[in-house]
Amino acid sequence: MTIRPEDPVRITSRDNVVVKDLRRLARDGGAYRRMGRLWLEGDHLCRAALDRGMQPIASVFAESFWPQAPARLVEAAPRIYLLPDALLAEASGLESPAPVGFLMALPESMGPRPGLAAVVLDRLQDPGNVGSILRSASAFGFAQVLALKGTVALWSPKVLRAGMGAHFGLQLVEGIEPPAVGQLGLPLLATSSHQGEWLHRAALPWPCAWLMGHEGQGVGPMLEAMATQRIRIAQPGGEESLNVAAAAAVCLHASAAHQMATTA
């Protein structure tokens, strides 16, 4: 039976199964894979999911927030849990716990889609970098992101927060091996700090797939050998290299701008 918004389920025990699930999802970066669920903390992520047409399994509110909770959040889920503020904070992964969150089913991964502009992440380790790259991919028209084995979990809490809702506009594929990248049927562009064409002079194909490598080691040899173009970014200021998230933003914007200029 669907629970009405005016009849939330009140939970007061830290040993309640719902609280235990939230705690696992908030603190264990790989729990979502085992549980098939996501825990979205905070108004921004919740609204971003709704904006993309996603429906939560349940919504969770702090008691102090419940009386003024926006109708859109209250009416979003078929089930509502109401927790004391301290208990919800205990289940949070945030330094400043949010008063609302959604439990959501993990979106189904359909595998790489041939022909769809992509970003390939090769063993990236920093959640902030990965979340930032997802935001750039979404902003600049790259509809799918493929993560090779060894890359930080794409739906982990830290990457979710860094992505700020970009996840919900992308097709995300995890745990692939380099040969799967070849199935995209796209030109593969590898970033390099020391060789290849200058980005500002290169003829950038569209659609394409950008290969973004490990923060310290760059693109791995097997993946780099598959590249059809190697691209470097001009750095007249003299820095040795750019942070991978910054490099991705520059490259993906260049692709989007080139594509817009050639189709205008």
List, for residues 127-137, the tens digit of each pLDDT value: 999 999 999 99
pTM higher than the cut 0.85? yes
Q: Do 201 and 174 touch, CB atoms closer than 8 A?
A: no
Place 142 in a pLDDT band, splitting at 50, 70 and 90: very high
For the chain, helix, strand, coil in percent to 5 are: 35, 20, 45
Q: Would the pLDDT of 264 be above 90?
A: no
CATH of 9-105, one of 3.30.70.380, 3.30.2270.10, 3.30.1330.30, 3.40.50.720: 3.30.1330.30
Q: Which residues of the chain are in CATH 3.40.1280.10 domains?
A: 118-263
Q: Which residues of the chain are in CATH 3.30.1330.30 domains?
A: 9-105
Q: Do 59 and 101 touch, CB atoms closer than 8 A?
A: yes
- CATH 3.40.50.10190 is the classification of domain 118-263: no
Here the tokens at position 74 are 């209250």
Secondary structure, 3-state, 123-190: CCCCHHHHHHHHHHHHHCCCCEEEEECCCCCCCCHHHHHHHCCHHHHCEEEEEECHHHHHHHCCCEEE
Average pLDDT over residues 113-140: 97
pLDDT at 1 (0 to 100) = 36
Q: Please write the tens of the pLDDT for every residue from 65-86.
A: 999 999 999 999 999 999 999 9
Average pLDDT over residues 186-199: 88
Q: Would the pLDDT of 241 be above 80?
A: no
Sorted by sequence, the CB contacts under 8 Å of residue 161 that are 6+ apart come out as 41, 42, 45, 94, 131
